[in-house]
Amino acid sequence: MSEELGPGLAGFAASTDFLSSQIVEHQNEDTVFSHDRSETVGGSEIDACPRKVKDSKMHDRRWAGNGYTARGKGMEAAMCDTFRRIERYWRVVKQRDLYFTAIGDRQESMVLPELGASATPDGFLTIDGETIYLEIKSVDPRISGKSLPKSGHVAQCQYGMELCHRTGRAKPQRAFLIYQDASDWARVQIFEIPRDEAAASALLKRAKKIMSAKSPMDLEPMGLESGGAECSGCPLENTCKAERAARVTDYRDDARFDEAVIAELDDLARQRMSAVLAEAEAKATKDAMSAQIRNILEEHNASIAATAGYSIRLSVRAGAKRFDRSAAEADGLDLEPYYKQGNGFPVLTIRENE
């Protein structure tokens, strides 16, 4: 072993750090597809920001060692083993017409080159002659339990079913969107997604528009327009924000709106103001309840309490380290060369007329 690893490495190879790093590095292998994925928009991408998708087609943005991808692949493989046992039971023991196709390592991609569209379903379930499209997702119950099904996954199913019909692979009229809890594999939620031809056609048009664009910036910044949550970590995040800020500076301050638009703006502004007030009231209530809970725990010299519905813990969190600029300047340090001007950003200001 030591000769293979070389001098000094053999000792490190026996350490936990070495094995940890090797697990992360080797836990996931890139899936090999039968077509060039850079030439099509896949099902898992169709609901993402068009700019982000186009950028990924023009640049290799793969994330090596993605543990979430490895988790999904592992759980999907286990689910496919379960499918095989289900099929064996119902076909062999019960003599019923139930079987799974294109699952696991037998998955098949459907491609429409003329539209720049592709999809690789997780399989098909055929029961008594009906073929049902299958999509398998692993979920973290800490963050996903109450927000299912996710709109992007529903879009993926619609997109995949439409590609089935257009390529002649199958004619599914519904999909089963399967969610499996990553912490307890016995917790499975399955949503039936009826085929929606209009929605699917719109998704195919989006795919064609993305692949036909010459640059990501020729497409709409859907991630930014929907609140920006999708923008985090995107290589185009700063570019899109700077573009929006630059555009705002060119807007007119004397625009004229018709009555219908004025009425819509007035209603939206009223709703936003109500939301701001509700948010402030909710925060005040939260702070008051937190103070009362702390007081009760302190009165009983307790840091932990368990009620019928909640686990309560009072603890101390270390404060964050803070850069003391005043002290640094007092010591004669010139910090100005180390400051970087951030991007400008739009600010929406609304006040109620008196």
Q: Which helix (H) or strand (E) holds 302?
A: none
Query: What pLDDT is stored for residue 8 in this prediction?
Result: 55
What is the residue-level pLDDT of the chain in tens, covering all 354 positions? 444 555 555 555 567 777 777 777 777 776 666 677 788 999 999 999 999 999 999 887 665 557 778 888 889 999 999 999 999 999 999 999 999 999 998 999 999 999 999 999 999 999 999 999 999 999 888 776 668 899 999 999 999 999 999 999 999 999 999 999 999 999 999 999 999 999 999 999 999 999 999 999 999 988 888 877 888 888 888 888 888 888 787 788 888 889 999 999 999 999 999 999 999 999 999 999 999 999 999 999 998 998 988 889 988 888 788 888 888 888 888 888 888 877 776 777 888 887
C-beta separation of 124 from 133 below 8 A:
yes
Q: Which helix (H) or strand (E) holds 79?
A: helix 67-88
Angle between helices 197-212 and 151-167 (to 10 degrees): 90
- HSE toward the beta carbon, residue 26, CA cutoff 13 A: 6
Query: What pLDDT is stored for residue 33 in this prediction?
Result: 66
C-beta separation of 110 from 104 below 8 A:
no
Residue extents of the structural domains in the chain? 1-30, 35-217, 258-299+346-354
Query: What pLDDT is stored for residue 12 in this prediction?
Result: 56
Give the SS3 label for residue 2. Answer: helix
Q: What is the C-alpha to C-alpha distance for residues 118 and 36, in angstroms, rounded to an integer?
A: 10
Give the SS3 label for residue 311. Answer: strand
- State in words which class domain 35-217 has: alpha beta
Residue with tokens 């592709």: 118
Give buried/exposed letters for 306-329 (b at 16+ CB in 10 A, else e).
eeeeeeeeeeeeeeeeeeeeeeee
Query: What pLDDT is stored for residue 4 in this prediction?
Result: 56
Query: What pLDDT is stored for residue 1 in this prediction?
Result: 40
Kindly report the pTM of this predicted structure: 0.71
Query: What pLDDT is stored for residue 321 in this prediction?
Result: 83
